[in-house]
Amino acid sequence: MKRATIGDVAADAGVSTATVSRVLNGGAVTEATATRVWEAVARLEYTPNALTKGVFAGSSSTIGVVIRDLSSPFYLDLIRGVDEVAAANDSLVMLANTFRRVDREVAQVRTMDEQRVRGLIVTTGEATDGRTRRMAGNGTPCVIVARSVRDAPPGLHSITLDDVEAGRLMAAHLAECGRSSIGVVSSGRRPSQIRRTAGLRRALAGLGSPLREDAVAVAESEEDVSAAVDGLLARGRDRGEPLDAIVCTTGRLTVAVHSALITRGIAIPGDLAFVTMDDFPWAAALGITVVAQPSYQMGLKAAELIVDRPGGPVALVFAPTLVARASCGERRTA
């Protein structure tokens, strides 16, 4: 069955296409004319062309979201929050996954600009900052998540976690559980990773258990985790201070780190305590202690900044929460 056009509606209602357009867009027409047009729309099951409408309006009703890696539980809840606000404001979400590749980040942000999205939410690195600044300057609100922005212009916002506090929470909890020889698996040089490790290091120093420089191993991907864990364990043994805890500063590597420990016959928490970032259903099933990010709420707020369009740049910092379970040898009370 052929899709009805605006011309079909105009013919059925006995008016011009311009009149139909005015009715659909809330323009001034007589009540009788508006009634005829809406009856024709219902009769023909006419659906307006949002793409054409966007061309004339200069922007679409779509909120663009560029994600670094959909395998991370953080991003899944973030998208859920964005989608809820988008749906409540008659918008769709256009999602792009960059697979952590800088060239794809740049290309996807450019594509979102070309699509004239209503607003853009990104979790990309600094390579895309030039484009997002231009978009904000041209009237398209942009929100950078998980990274702050220096000297942001109006329309360019940021949403971050208090990553230093996340590290402090990990250190304090491990100390409460009697752990003092700690190794860290980090995923790279992202600002969030650096801040979490810095917060952990600062808190451990204050607790009298300083984190050694060689106690931090970088694993860029899941394939690097095995070697990182082996290196941390070996260095602990070599200096006569076997590790009694492993911290993972990113939820993306949780499965790989946990698996690496289990396959080596290491009992959690009997031999080693384990604490990681980001909460998700199976973490509770396995009793893993985590520092949770309010990623759903962060997604809600990011989308609200797109919809509400505040005048100046907005920089929001969310607080992390420790979810204590059993992986650090927590003492349970009756």
Q: What is the pLDDT of residues 12-21, one digit of tens each?
A: 999 999 898 8
Which of 23-37, 156-170, 201-215 has the least mean pLDDT? 23-37
**pLDDT greater than 60 at residue 236:** yes
pLDDT, mean over the chain? 91
Determine the Cα–Cα distance for residues 80 and 96; give it in Å rounded to an integer: 14
pLDDT score recorded for residue 95: 95
Determine the Cα–Cα distance for residues 329 and 321; give it in Å rounded to an integer: 19
Determine the Cα–Cα distance for residues 322 and 290; give it in Å rounded to an integer: 6
Angle at 93 between CA 90 and CA 96, to 5 degrees: 170
- For 81-89, what is the mean pLDDT? 95
DSSP secondary structure string, 210-262? Answer: PPPGGGEEE-SSGGGHHHHHHHHHHHHHHTT----EEEES-GGGHHHHHHHHH
Are residues 148 and 171 in contact, defined by beta-carbon separation less than 8 angstroms? no
What is the pLDDT confidence band of residue 24, given thresholds at 50, 70 and 90? confident
pLDDT score recorded for residue 53: 54
Determine the Cα–Cα distance for residues 282 and 299; give it in Å rounded to an integer: 22
**62-162+295-319 against 163-292: fold identical:** yes
Residue ranges covered by each domain of the chain? 6-57, 62-162+295-319, 163-292
pLDDT score recorded for residue 59: 54
Determine the Cα–Cα distance for residues 296 and 299; give it in Å rounded to an integer: 5
Q: What is the pLDDT of residues 262-313, one digit of tens each?
A: 999 999 999 999 999 999 888 999 999 999 999 999 999 999 999 999 989 9
Within 13 Å, how many C-alpha atoms sit on residue 5's CB side? 8
pLDDT score recorded for residue 147: 92
- For 28-34, what is the mean pLDDT? 91
pLDDT score recorded for residue 186: 96
**pLDDT greater than 70 at residue 118:** yes
What is the pLDDT confidence band of residue 28, given thresholds at 50, 70 and 90? confident
**pLDDT greater than 50 at residue 58:** no
> Selecting from 3.40.50.300, 3.90.45.10, 3.40.50.2300, 3.50.50.60, what CATH number does the domain 163-292 have?
3.40.50.2300
pTM value is: 0.83
> Selecting from 1.20.1440.230, 3.30.70.100, 1.10.260.40, 3.40.50.300, what CATH number does the domain 6-57 have?
1.10.260.40
- Rounded percentage of the chain residues whose pLDDT exceeds 70: 95
Are residues 130 and 162 in contact, defined by beta-carbon separation less than 8 angstroms? no
**Residues with Cβ within 8 Å of residue 133, at least 6 apart in sequence:** 153, 156
**pLDDT greater than 80 at residue 131:** yes
β-partners of residue 3 are none
What is the pLDDT confidence band of residue 55, given thresholds at 50, 70 and 90? very low
For domain 62-162+295-319, give the CATH number.
Answer: 3.40.50.2300
**pLDDT greater than 80 at residue 50:** no
pLDDT score recorded for residue 256: 95
